[in-house]
Structure 1
């Protein structure tokens, strides 16, 4: 379970870091953390809601539920924590987090299928 948690947190932190660097607002790690905070809160809620610890690397339904909660709650909480909300930001957020949160799960799923039955 913990490797999956780390992968998800790294995806959210990468999203925040890339976004702040691209907009020249990565003034400190604290700023990156503030940008990431609402999405990390959404990620945690997604893990609980999906009971992701049961099969964390499963793209469906676990990955989709975690992704949806991360995006929806992150975007919902962002204005409450002082961040803005534009449609273009919401679209980029959804796409980036889909590519990363679902991407590593799809790769793990493919790797699991390619292992011989005796190694599973």
Structure 2
């Protein structure tokens, strides 16, 4: 399943978020699962929602996928936290939103940057060991596309149009 690596990375980052939060408040870091569980459940829902969106991003490591997962994780995590009887004070909401944003979208931004640089190096004539399956259409920018890579619709239309012969009557 191509989604699993991104889900694992995201889940680990949510666990790190919870462990850091508990340690910063001098609480037992061993109880970080109590803090993390609502966000882990919401994280899974976020991945599911991103996968089911009609105009969904195609790959779980894209920024758009990360934004969907981040939003659902924060909102869903806070709701589950409150419904389970815990608190969600405004400072906690702000810190959780910013930290999870940096974590869940940040690693995807770094990955996009690396992919873009690898793609530019490959188009500049350098050899690349990049797998074509890793190519992400959402990361292609007009300046990265060479003229030979662009489909010319006018040429395709002319080639598919019937040609007129000299003995055909003119309409």
Q: TM-score, normalised by structure 1?
A: 0.89
The size of the alignment, in residue pairs, is 117
User: What is the match of residue 4 of structure 1?
Assistant: 6
Residue 104 in 1 paired to residue 107 in 2?
A: yes
Q: In 2, distance between residues paired with 1:81 and 1:55?
A: 33
Listed as ranges, the matches of 1:17-96 within 5 Å are 17-28=19-30, 31-51=31-51, 54-60=58-64, 62-96=65-99
What is the RMSD of the two structures over their aligned residues, measured on CA atoms?
1.7
Q: Give, in angstroms, the shift of residue 53 of structure 1.
A: 9.0
The structure carrying a bigger helix percent of its residues is 1
CA contact (8 A) 1:15 1:96 kept: yes
Q: Give, in angstroms, the shift of residue 82 of structure 1.
A: 3.2
Rg comparison, structure with higher value: 2
Q: Give, in angstroms, the shift of residue 54 of structure 1.
A: 4.0
